[in-house]
Structures are given as C-alpha cells and as structure tokens.
Amino acid sequence: MMPKKIATVHPFVDKYHKLQEESEYIEDPTYSRSIGSHVCMTCSKFDYSSQASCGSILFCSWHQELIYYGQHLTHSCELYQKK
C-alpha cells in the first residue's frame, strides 16, 4: 500500500493568493517615491509571502492593497510607521 501524499498549503499563502485575486494594487497618489529609509519594506504594515510556485506577493496591511514588485524599495506613504 502506497502512502497518500497530502499537499498542505500554509494558511498564510492561501490568504495571499486570495488577496492577489481580490485586491487592487496601490496607485499614486496613495504613496510616492521616497528618499532615505522610509520605504514600504521598513514599514510595520508591510507584509509579504514568498513561494517558489508563485514568487513574492507584497502587501500593505494598512491600505489592504498589493504593492508592485520593486516599489516596496522605493516608495512610502503618509501613514508610514517604523518597524
């Protein structure tokens, strides 16, 4: 008898797949290009998921919107909160 292979998906990944399908991306003027260390990636509201099958999903939990890849390193908004 062969053991069954059970595919488990971490709830975190499942949550972000749903968000990617249902959410919109943050657009200007919600956030703008930043100079210095005040960027999305250093904000306490920045979250992400990284999976080999789907790449990185970047998300702002304050705005409840996705962040375009790369802009998490160069942009921030007026609601920035240091981690």
Indicate the pairing of strand 55-60 with strand 31-33.
Answer: unpaired
Number of domains in the chain: 1
Query: Is the predicted pLDDT of residue 56 greater than 80, yes or no?
Result: yes
Higher-pLDDT residue of 35 and 43 is: 43
Distance CA 34, CA 71 (A): 10
pLDDT value for 8: 46
Q: Is residue 4 part of a domain?
A: no
Q: Is residue 5 part of a domain?
A: no
pTM here is: 0.64
Q: Is residue 44 part of a domain?
A: yes
Residue range of the domain that includes 43? 33-83
